[in-house]
Amino acid sequence: MSSFSVDDIPEVKEAHECATRSDWGGAVQLLERANQVLGSVPELQLLTQTRLANIHQLKGDLAKEISARKAVLAAAINLEPKKKYSSAHALSIALLRAGEIDRALVYCLEPLQDIEELEEETEAKLVASIILAHHPTRHVEVSGVLDSISDTINEANSHFSCAREMIRGRYLLLTSDEDAAHVSLRPSDDVVDAFRRAEEFAPVDSPEILGVASACSGGLLKGLNPGVSTGDSGDGMFYEGQMLRDLEASLNKAVQSFDKLEGDRSTYYLANTLRKLANVKKLKGDGVISEGLFRSVLSKLNSLPKTVFRAQLEAQTTHDYASLLEKMEWNGRSRKSEADKLLAQVPSEGGSTETGHYLNYGSTLDQWIMNTFGGRG
């Protein structure tokens, strides 16, 4: 039995194939069937339940994802603690995306009462700080939670220090003064410093978190990171050449890190980072290079299964690309009609999928949060 894997189950194999070709309904049916068959093998059943929750997430059905993650947590309680904690984190993130912040807090704070392992305690605090950052009244607790992690980390776990500072930077962005941000080219020094510290802490042997840290420190202008309000090239504001060169260097560093990853995760990270690079090129006036990058992003996304996250990134990329075309000419003729045609292809808000109220896949940091704590880590 020890050599048997959940991937050896025919229904699970077929479900994976269905997901690859975006047949979410088929994948759900197959995993539900496998879940029934494995009723007497709780460890394997837990794995199929987790995959079912992940399919609902990729499909964009938040309500069913939350229901499935509750079932996963209930099943995990009687198994090893690590699975219970990670299941609670995934449920908390799903509830946050659904806008149910108070319920999310219940599930992410509860594990802190009986956690004994330092690593698990730190992960729980990171998730709690993410949830608290979005709470209308309790967001002031975030700094305290993050600061408490300082005493629970060491050099062997520098990724925790990196994660702490990235989440701190994100929290500061969420609570920044929008009016003040409009008069500066960058967010506050506190925000910039947090992301710079994150990049310094990022372990060189972990390309994913190193790439995310680089992308965060290189994404501090409007259109590159959600939540930052600064002028763009259409506002008549002047972007310093050195600032744009620094941004470009950080994003290129992120691309190098993400190139070392494999599979769909790598494609998502690369597509999003190249989208940000395209916006930097647009601000620098390199329209031809910017257009080439936007086309490359859309091509990469087109190679992925039709998930809710692909749809979100495609929409954001298309809007960014269209804003470039509106200002371009070809043989003396405006390309605005091309921009209008592109925008007409973007699905209207809502539709058959849900991206959630919070956490935006257009943010590389939010991508990492969902990948790490949202159930597919």
- pLDDT, mean of residues 187-214: 87
Q: What global pTM score does this model have?
A: 0.88
Q: How many helices (H) and strands (E) does the chain have?
A: 18, 2
pLDDT score of 377? 57
Q: How far apart are the first and last CA of the chain?
A: 25
How many C-beta neighbours within 10 Å does residue 113 have?
Answer: 7
pLDDT for the residue 154: 59
Q: What is d(CA 53, CA 48) in angstroms, rounded to the nearest whole number?
A: 9
Distance (Å) of CA 359 to CA 144, 187, 229, 240, 302: 22, 19, 17, 30, 22
How does residue 149 score in pLDDT terms, banded at 50, 70 and 90?
A: confident
Angle between helices 263-284 and 308-325 (to 10 degrees): 20
List beta partners, residue 329. 334
Taking residues 41-64, report their average pLDDT.
94
Residue 341, pLDDT > 70, answer yes
Residue 157 to residue 141: CA distance in whole angstroms: 24
Strand partners, 293: none
Measured in residues, the chain has a length of 377
Residue 221's pLDDT band (cuts 50, 70, 90): low
Considering only CA atoms, which of 354, 268, 357, 350 is closest in space to residue 317? 268
> In whole angstroms, what is the distance from residue 36 CA to residue 48 CA?
10
Q: Which residues 6+ apart lie within 8 Å of 358 measured at CB?
A: 96, 97, 99, 134
The per-residue pLDDT for range 106-145, each reduced to its tens digit, is 998 887 777 778 888 889 999 999 999 999 999 999 999 9
**Contacts of range 155-160, beta carbons closer than 8 Å, 24 or more positions apart:** 157/119, 157/122, 158/201, 158/202, 158/203, 159/201, 159/202, 159/203, 159/206, 159/209, 160/119, 160/122, 160/126
Q: What is the pLDDT of residue 240?
A: 60
Per-residue pLDDT at 259 exceeds 90: yes
Mean pLDDT of the chain: 84
CB 355 within 8 A of CB 312: yes
Alpha-carbon distance 368 to 377, whole Å?
9
pLDDT tens per residue across span 287-336: 999 999 999 999 999 999 999 999 999 999 999 999 999 988 787 788 88
Segment 192-202 mean pLDDT: 88
The amino acid present at 212, given as its one-letter code, is V
